[in-house]
Amino acid sequence: MRQFALILSLVTLLGTPALAAGATGKNIVKNEIDSVEFVTLNTHVLIQDGVIRLGDVFQGSGEFADRVIAYGPRPGSRAVFDARWLKRVAMAFKMNWRPSSGVERVIVERESQVISRSEVEGLLFERLVSAGEDSTSRAVLANRSFRLDLPVGENYMLGVDQISFDPSTRRFSATLAWGNGKDERRRVTGKLEQMVEVPVLAKRMMRGDLIREADLNWVEMPQARLARNAVTDAGHLIGMAAKRTISAGKPISQGDIRRPKAVSKGETVTMVLSTPAMRLTTKGTALEPGSLGDSIRISNGQTNTVVEGVITGPGQVRVGPPVNLAMR
């Protein structure tokens, strides 16, 4: 770590106190007891800039509190300083402090302003569209857990320094830059995905629940990640029933829905026989469940004859002329 360069200089101070005194115009040894009598350790330090000062680590460091003793970690990162290093720093500044044990340490964390994955994807998308790529697509980073930590306290402008795109694979690579743009750069890769709007449930539905228009929301999803049997037309969902429990916010497949059940197994139904000359009705028992338009078997309650009919509505089945005798 870069802080070891500063550590070496601190160790040098132990042998050359005159140099340290000359740098500040004060004699550290003379003020040792007057200015640094009670010193305590800050075991957890939070900094904003790129350096660690003596006062960050030691409370009671007095007039030397602003002295830089190490480089700070990168924004959003942490660094650990052990008892041996802390002892050397305390000795270099003639402070009345020694570690109580060999495991004593200080954890230094550096604050950051977080740039999210979606923010970077939006920046890349704008750059690709300005270069003539499809505006109905979306830039998606390959690293799903991507985040960028920039220093706080300064107005860092994040930009895209370089970008390349392969139309055949729709993949891109780019270099992000901020600050002076020289040392502060990061390379990212991803893909430009075609998007499609998909109807999804606003809330979870249980088996048998009917889907209404008010139950649907629309979300935008990459077409490549959409299953082949996913329903993309809301008209094919409204009025249907959930075949199983369906989660909210996810694409609905054809296998998740069915026509609402109009007749249950064992239910008493009305059997209707219609011809131009007559209309006969009688009661029967459904031997199997079915939805509107399904053909099911029905047992005539009077004759115990089993016939087949088409469900025309809740509790109602249409039978044809060949079963005329079975109706009597």
The predicted-structure confidence for 125-162, as pLDDT tens digits, reads as follows 999 999 999 888 999 999 999 999 998 876 778 889 89
Share the mean pLDDT of the chain: 85
Question: Residue 161's domain spans which residues?
Answer: 114-194
Say which CATH number the domain at 251 has: 3.90.1210.10
Q: Is 181 left (phi over 0), alpha (psi -120 to 50) or beta?
A: left
Least confident of 24-38, 146-160, 176-190: 24-38
Which among 96, 111, 126 is the end of a domain?
A: 111
Please state, in angstroms and rounded to a whole number, the distance separating the CA atoms of residues 218 and 227: 16
Please state, in angstroms and rounded to a whole number, the distance separating the CA atoms of residues 272 and 318: 5
Least confident of 94-103, 116-125, 251-260, 314-323: 314-323
Nearest residue to 61 via CA among 30, 32, 102, 104: 32
Whether pLDDT at 29 is above 50: no
Residues 210 and 276 in one domain: no
Q: What pLDDT is recorded for position 183?
A: 61
Whether pLDDT at 218 is above 70: yes
Kindly indicate the confidence band of residue 11, based on its pLDDT and cuts at 50, 70 and 90. very low
DSSP state letter for 100: S
Total domains in the chain come to: 4
For residues 286-313, average pLDDT? 88
Least confident of 9-13, 141-145, 237-241: 9-13
Please state, in angstroms and rounded to a whole number, the distance separating the CA atoms of residues 98 and 138: 57
Whether pLDDT at 304 is above 90: no
DSSP state letter for 170: T
Least confident of 76-80, 171-175, 234-238, 280-284: 280-284
Q: To which H or E segment does residue 17 belong? A: helix 17-24
Q: pLDDT, tens digit, for every residue of 41-70?
A: 999 999 998 999 999 999 999 899 999 999
Which among 258, 277, 297 is the end of a domain?
A: 258
pLDDT higher for 82 or 4?
Answer: 82
User: Which residue matches tokens 């390349």?
Assistant: 164
Whether pLDDT at 7 is above 70: no
HSE (side-chain half, CA atoms, 13 Å) at 59: 6
Residues 33 and 101 in one domain: yes
Please state, in angstroms and rounded to a whole number, the distance separating the CA atoms of residues 186 and 191: 17
Q: What pLDDT is recorded for position 178?
A: 86
Which among 63, 85, 111 is the end of a domain?
A: 111
Q: Where are the beta strands (DSSP E) in 137-255?
A: 137-141, 147-150, 159-166, 171-177, 185-201, 216-222, 241-242
